[in-house]
Amino acid sequence: LYLSAQEGILFFYHIKDLQYEMKICADIFQPISSLIFSPDYTVLLLVTDQGTVYTYKPTHSGEAVKLLDTCSSCFLAADFLSLGNKYCVSVTISGEVQVWFLEDGTCLSKLNLDIEVHIA
């Protein structure tokens, strides 16, 4: 079980029967608003309240890596695009939808919806 704390800490809880073990995986020093696993569960996207997107690879037990940072508008949400873990799609508060290559954070495509976006 992965969860995040308000302070920006990513925790992993290994639960077996009535016992559990807690491990701190990463500290990104920004409140995390959402966690999204890739379809094959090899990459975890962390989206912060400030609009930054990080990747974390559980099998590598390393730090979270900053992938995308805010430009003119904060990222509101991000998710993996189709099956696999090579691309993600994000949307900003200002309504810009972007497709990203996860290897290096390259923006591959943009579409401006010309409306402000909210998550219900």
Greater pLDDT, 52 or 112: 112
Domain boundaries, the chain: 2-112
Distant-in-sequence, close-in-space partners of 108: CB < 8 Å, separation ≥ 6: 87, 99, 100, 101
Q: Is the pLDDT of residue 119 over 80?
A: no
Distance of alpha carbon 104 from alpha carbon 11, whole angstroms: 25
Q: What is the pTM of this model?
A: 0.72
Both structure tokens of 64: 């979270």
Q: What is the CATH number of domain 2-112?
A: 2.130.10.10
pLDDT for 65 equals 85
The SS3 of residue 59 is: helix
Whether the pLDDT of residue 72 is over 70: the answer is: no
What local confidence, expressed as pLDDT, does residue 120 receive?
64
